[in-house]
Structure 1
Amino acid sequence: MDLGILSLVPAAVAIILAFVTRNTVFSLAVACFIGVLLAGQGLLGFPNLLKDALGTTSFSWIFLLELFIGVLIAFFQRTGAIQHFTLIMERKNLSRVKTQLVSWFLGMFVFFSDYFSPLFVGSTMRNLSDKAKISREKLSYIADSTSAPVSVMVPITGWAVYISGLLVGMGAITSPDMAMGVFVQAIPFNFYALLSVLFVGLIAMKVIPDFGPMKKAEERALKEGKVLRDGAEPLMGEELTETPPFEGIKPNVFLNFFLPVLIVISIAVGTFIVLDSAKTMEAFLTASVILGIIMRIQGIPFNDIMKTATAGMKGVLPAIIILAFAYALNKLTEDIGTADYIVSVSENWLTPSLLPVITFIIAAIIAFATGSSWGTFAIVMPLAIPLVFNYTGDEVTTLVLATIAAVGGGGVFGDHCSPLSDTTVLASTGAASDHMDHVKTQIPYALTVAAIACVFYLIVGIVFV
């Protein structure tokens, strides 16, 4: 279906309402309802859209992944592992700067999953961050900026496999091995991802001072001791933020914290190497089961373990509800041709020298409007890459590498800061931040990095054409 300019309406309604009402669920639901009416599907179009979008393997996967992550975090809380980890870190007398730097390093360490990374960093560092009077907005920004921007630059992630897979058959790229080689060569040109990660470190070290809404949030936390603004609604249930440690057991940081994390990393990375597919959901399921067994051996009653697991699942429900509507809106925008319209109105602007920067901007707009970086890659890569190969005579040149990286970086920009994006939601969840507060404080930083990236792409286009 091609609705032309009307195809922009659902995404625009969702984004505008989210900023105005601060209620993401309501905004997404209204956007979906308006979208199905514009598509001529009537009142039944809304429930039918939900059935079509949510009755898929991809949504089932992230749904189960969220549940198992919720269980694991609840187990961390109930065993006292996170609290004990916080005490250990407190003995090091970390300053606000060092606390932010530890969060930054943790995010880069968990490079294999852009879903786990923000949840892990947020839930692990939240207590420590609160004690250091760091706003939840700042913690969610750090967690968000070290998830997708890192994952898109590491060759042993699902992102790398997916992007390189899209490149096979384009120009001189004739095999998966060659495609992965080109992907690796393009990494230095992924200016947005590189600068996003670097920007966090510079902000944390105060080389770049906080500005915009983030500055106000940090001043509130530091001067008033309020890590959340008055009236904020943290995107995590009290089941995960208020779970007390079980009395009568001595927390073992290795068994109750580091071992489950190592299990997740080992299974995710190991299955990627052996099967070319990181079994992240299965990794969390395994870690949750093993930690549950350890808890029983430590003396925690079976009924308490099951109650904790259920509480963990309930704690991530706010995020799951938002993700459900985001998936529905993504399916709707795909059906009504939102991305195709954005591409069609920009085709006449494309010239060899402007190709990298225009590609980045188009990918960023599509990803921001749909909340999907992978969907953006699938749309923009088959359009931009054959075009750049046409300019270079099917040779892999700097212009080709920069254009590939521009698709990746543009997709990450939208995925990184759109209120509709799953990783943005997960960053708010992990840090227990108000979702729209996280989006509002992060966007000025993301736009700053995107503007710098555009300048670099302009320079590359001018110099290497």
Structure 2
Amino acid sequence: MNSNPTVSAGPLTQNHRQNLSQKTRWILFYSAIMAGFGYLSTQYADSGNFGFISIMPAILTLCVAVYSKRSLEAIFAGIIAGLILLNPMEVVTGLGDLSINVVMNETIAWIVLVCGMMGGLINILERGGSVVSFGEILARRIKTKRGTMLTTCSLGIMVFIDDYLNSLAVSASMKTLTDKYKISREKLAYLVDSTAAPVCILVPISTWAVYFAALLEENGATESGKGMSLYIESIPFMAYGWVALLVVFLVAAGVIGNLGAMKQAEARAQKGETVPPGVAQDGFDTSKIKKVSPMVGLINFLLPMAVLVGASVYYEIDLLLGALTASLFTMVLYYWQSLLNFGQMVDSMLDGFKVMLHPIAVVCAGFMLKDVNDQLGMTPYIIESITPYLSKELLPALVFAVMAAVVFATGSSWGVFVVSLPIVIPIAQTIDMSMPLTVGALLSASAFGSHACFFSDSTVLSAQGSGCTSMQHAWTQIPYALLGSVFAFIAFLVLGFAFA
């Protein structure tokens, strides 16, 4: 009887030693990488001009993300590497300063509150039975897998006011139906994400339009008060938005098949495993749903959505105030119908916040990485490196390619343009390039970066709402995003020569 433990202890000990040895090798490997960054710091930190070295933390982030398939850990690897470059002796201090700056950043505070409020609102809608009712009514009218995907894309276009709203609301309302037709959560996330930022830039009544119109005025791209007019003139030239929209509908219609990692995801879904492995929680908790008639449930779903959109527009495209108004309206509506009591609704809001903690952490870490890249001077270095090669004909295509790469590396589809616009706009004005075309190239780059980056806000939220990780979503989506970027680049080459 004593022999069994003795026999089994050998392999366990051997496995333990192998795991320990593997962990030791990885610790030594990462330590060597960080030591390399420490050495580079001694060569460049004193001059403050990092040059090509400024892009190394972003490259490390991408490499770790590709290998580990984990976004938060990859971002922090890049942050630590960047802080070592800046000052190896003050890494902990620098990390603390970055954390404080993120917490005090008004944009970050807005994102945290919006994501939390949206998560809470959707959780109330689900626990009140509204999302299920909406899915049941759609299921009566949609009888095919293709119809389900086309409906998802169409809903994404209808919810054009903000990419956050699109990413969370559409994915939550379509999960039941896509599961029924064995559509993987990765495919759902792609369909939702492709109608988020790419659509928002094409609609002048959106958070993107309001933000960039003000930014264009501040940087002298147009006269004061005419920023929105310039934005509207630029919409026909936002090539990536149009191409991404065309590609996603072709994918939904079955004209473009499954590419890259999407093949494996869809093959797994066809076996009935629509939720990918490694997902700790499949979206929001729906275990306590109260049954209501489909029509009442539909009304209970559409009314809060209408209030959300209407209130956001009323408050000058502010999704935070829209989400707050819609949440209060929904709580009163559901309490009046006795669907949920006050305590249950408060619990639903808090649980919605909890579900959003990981995507919020990824977005906050992305802002910390952007701050490090700004201190290293990455964006100005990249722009200055391509300036000697600019010409009137090549300006739109090069602006799109370079800024798309910068946004992809930083994950900040809005923040980098505060730095880049003061450089790009004067160049366009100096060589007398069409300003709507230049703005179209910039907004296309922003949309691509938001669409393709594995830790951008819309990517993270689309994955969270659909029930997969951000890396699973990004890895299956990247072939389609790259396809769209290639066609957009060609379009800007043609437009550059046409308007030169």
Show the counterpart of 2:163.
114
> 1:318-338: CA deviations, max 9, x gaps?
211211211211222122211
Distance 1:415 1:406 in 2: 14
Query: Is the 8 Å Cα contact of residues 133 and 293 (structure 2) preserved in structure 1?
Result: no
| Equivalent position of 1:232 in the other structure | 278
- Work out the CA distance in 1 between the residues paired with 2:473 and 2:144: 23
Counterpart-to-counterpart distance in 2, 1:360 and 1:340: 15
Say if 1:42 and 1:260 are closer, same or farther in 2 by CA, change over 3 A: same
Instruction: Name the counterpart of 1:387.
Output: 427
The letter of the residue matching 1:29 is: F
Aligned CA distance change for structure 1 residues 45 and 455 (closer, same or farther; 3 Å): same
- Residue 315 of structure 2 aligns to a residue whose secondary structure is helix
Residue of 286, 289, 294 corresponding to 1:243:
286
Partner Cα distance (1:153, 1:171) in 2: 22
CA distance in 2, matches of 1:47, 1:159: 31
Partner of 1:439: 474
- What is the aligned residue count? 449
The 8 Å contact of residues 366 and 412 in structure 2, kept in 1 or not, is answered as no
Please say if 1:26 is aligned against 2:78: no
Instruction: State how far apart, in whole Å, the 2-side matches of 1:358 and 1:433 are.
Output: 34
Bigger shift: 288-297 or 431-440?
Answer: 288-297
Please give the alpha-carbon distance, in whole angstroms, between the structure 1 residues aligned to 2:175 and 2:361: 23
1:248 shift after superposition = 6.8
Counterpart of 2:214 in structure 1 is: 165
Provide, for residues 115-161 of structure 1, a one-character-per-residue CA deviation record: whole Å limited to 9, x for no partner: 11111111111111111111111111111111111111211223223
Aligned residue in 2 for 1:207: 255
Aligned to 1:253: 297
Cα distance in 1 between the residues matched to 2:444 and 2:162: 17
Aligned-partner Cα distance in 2 for 1:244–1:335: 47
Task: Confirm whether residue 11 of structure 1 aligns to residue 58 of structure 2.
Answer: yes
User: Which amino acid in the other structure matches residue 281 of structure 1?
Assistant: L
Structure 1's 172 and 137: CA in aligned 2 closer, same or farther, altered over 3 A? Answer: closer
User: What amino acid sits opposite 1:182 in the alignment?
Assistant: L
Residue 425 (str. 1) matches residue 460 (str. 2): yes
- The farther-off stretch of 21-30 and 61-70 is 21-30
State the identity %.
Answer: 32
Q: 1:169 & 1:24 partners in 2: Cα distance?
A: 34
Contact 1:249/1:298, CA 8 A, preserved across alignment = no
| 1:329 counterpart residue number | 369
Q: How does 1:443-454 map to 2 (within 5 A)?
A: 443-454=478-489
1:264 corresponds to 2:308: yes
Task: Specify the SS of the correspondent of 1:210.
Answer: coil
164-173 or 194-203, which deviates more: 164-173
1:312–1:297 distance in 2 versus 1, CA, 3 Å = same
Shift in Å at residue 256 of structure 1?
Answer: 2.4
Unaligned stretches of 5+ residues in structure 2: 1-47
Report the CA distance between 1:188 and its aligned residue: 1.0
Provide the C-alpha distance between the structure 1 equivalents of 2:84 and 2:218, rounded to a whole number of angstroms: 39
Is residue 221 from structure 1 mapped to residue 260 from structure 2 by the alignment? no
| Matched residue, 1:290 | 329
| Partner Cα distance (1:241, 1:405) in 2 | 37
Q: Does 2:397 align with 1:357?
A: yes
Change (3 A) 1:349 1:248: closer
Shift of 1:262: 0.5
Q: How does 1:83-122 map to 2 (within 5 A)?
A: 83-122=132-171
CA contact (8 A) 1:54 1:327 kept: no
Task: Tell me how far apart the structure 2 counterparts of residues 379 and 319 of structure 1 sit (CA, whole Å).
Answer: 25
Task: Summarize deviations over 1:56-84 as a string: whole Å, max 9, x none.
Answer: 11111111111111111111111111111
Normalised TM-score (structure 1): 0.92
How many angstroms does 1:27 deviate by? 1.3
Matched residues in 2 for 1:416 and 1:316: separation?
19
Greater relative contact order structure (CA < 8 Å, 6+ sep):
1
| Contact 2:315/2:321 (8 A) holds in 1 | no
For residues 86-119 of structure 1, what are the alpha-carbon distances to aligned partners after superposition, in whole Å with 9 as ceiling and x for unaligned? 1111112431111111110111111111111111
Of stretches 76-85 and 378-387 in structure 1, the one that deviates more from structure 2 is 378-387
Code of the residue aligned with 1:23 in structure 2: it is: R
1:370 aligns with 2:370: no
**2:401–2:445 Cα contact (<8 Å) kept:** yes
Instruction: Supply the RMSD in Å over aligned alpha carbons.
Output: 1.9
Structure 2 residue aligned with 1:319: 359
Question: After the TM superposition, which residues 300-311 of structure 1 pair with which residues of structure 2 at under 5 Å, given as runs?
Answer: 300-311=340-351
Greater Rg over alpha carbons, structure = 2
Instruction: Give the drift of 1:349.
Output: 1.3
CA positional deviation for 1:46:
1.2
Aligned partner of 1:275 in structure 2 is none
SS for the counterpart of 2:92 is: coil
Distance 1:400 1:309, change over 3 A: closer
CA distance in 1, matches of 2:198, 2:361: 25
After superposition, the C-alpha distances for 1:20-78 in whole angstroms (9 at most, x for unaligned) are 11121111122212211211133221122111122211111111111111111111111
Number of the residue aligned with 1:175? 224
Q: 1:184-211, CA deviations, whole angstroms, 9 ceiling, x for partnerless residues?
A: 1221111111111111111111122222
- Judged with a 3 Å threshold, the aligned counterparts in structure 2 of structure 1 residues 283 and 171 are, in CA distance, closer, same or farther, namely closer
Counterpart amino acid of 1:228?
Answer: V
